[in-house]
Amino acid sequence: MGTYRVAVLPGDGVGGDVLAAARRVLDAVGFKAEYQHGDIGWEFWKSEGNPLPDRTVQLLKSTDVCLFGAITSKPKEEAASELSPALRGKGYTYSSPIVGLRQLFDLHTNLRPCKAYPGNPLNLRDDIDLVVFRENTEDLYAGVEWHPIPDDVRQALRTHPRMKRFDDVANEDMAISLRLVTRKGCQRILRSAFEYAKKNGYKTVTVVEKANVLRETSGLMVREARAMASEYPGIELWETNIDAMCMWLVKNPQNYGVLVSTNLFGDIISDLAAQLVGGLGFAAAGNIGDSYAVFEPTHGSAPKYAGMNKVNPIATIQAARLMLDHLGERDKAERIERAIARIVAEGKARTYDMGGTTTTSGMADAVISVLD
């Protein structure tokens, strides 16, 4: 393709800093794009009552793909207190804009590579090469919650015998979140995981759930994994509970390849896996659907560092690399990864999280300087 249309959503805090660094690397590998800036984040929540304005949604619909920076999210009461006075008391409720994007565009697959680059002083060990596939639109993150509990919901829940012990708990003293897991959701994320393993030479896919306790929801994922595994005779299916998986990732992460899970458990293990290979300064994610995708670093907005040219941009450069791979620009993606590996191995450029003094733009300069 000639020139891509790329939506750029800096968001909050350091989002603009790291996206600027990533764009310079994309320019250096010859990626041709028309970038469209979009509004998202905390400032728009405060001033408009919507951190994901409709105009931004429409912008994304006119582009091929999106690069996203960082977002600030706060608890419900704190979010309400920071609204513009003119908007307070008018029924506005804060919800995460990145979760909103995932649901609006049905970005069902969250892809989180966690690979150790030798020479990184933050690595637990240098032979880790994990890829986490996290279902991205369902589970507790579907946002089906109540507090207090409506009477009709309470009556429906009473049909389950295990609700009896809560009969003396008042509606206002109870909060409920629905763990919503569908067969379609399970099948989509499992298919993505198995296909990735097949394409990239991984020998195992590990389904990470808690089916010994959450027998219906986690059980559905495990049953679908077993059924699908028969279609991939060269790949071994492993099954592990989420609590045990956390232990094994700390103890023997080198034994694992592709991990797949529902939304909440996938969120947990992907951040844990990221820390094994340098932390969130190195961790990128692709939010991928059938017709659109959003790529992002997985770190927060770090507002105290905004505009200081300080934070590590490698996660965002990796997000750009994932975007290139998704668009079929694999040669450019591989050039960026080789450059990152070389810079980390040389150890001359290290940002503050790595114990050095290299700036955000300085790290981008370093990566660009060794592109082949």
CATH number 3.30.2310.20 given to 129-139+182-276:
no
For the chain, give every domain's residue range: 1-118+283-372, 129-139+182-276, 144-177
Token couple for 352:
């503050």
Q: Burial-class residue 311 by CB neighbours within 10 Å (0-12, 13-18, 19+).
A: buried
- CA dist 334 and 313 (Å) reads 18
CB burial class (10 A; 0-12, 13-18, 19+) of residue 178?
middle
CATH top-level class of 1-118+283-372? alpha beta
141-175 exposure pattern, b = at least 16 Cβ within 10 A, e = fewer? bbeeeeeebeeeebeeeeeeeeeeeeeeeeeeeee
Is the model's pTM score more than 0.85? yes
- CB-based burial label for 233 (10 Å; 0-12, 13-18, 19+): exposed
Task: Give, for all 372 residues of the chain, the pLDDT tens digit.
Answer: 579 999 999 999 999 999 999 999 999 999 999 999 999 999 999 999 999 999 999 999 999 999 999 999 999 899 999 999 999 999 999 999 999 999 999 999 999 999 999 999 999 999 999 999 999 999 999 999 999 999 999 999 999 999 999 999 999 999 999 999 999 999 999 999 999 999 999 999 999 999 999 999 999 999 999 999 999 999 999 999 999 999 999 999 999 999 999 999 999 999 999 999 999 999 999 999 999 999 999 999 999 999 999 999 999 999 999 999 999 999 999 999 999 999 999 999 999 999 999 999 999 999 999 999
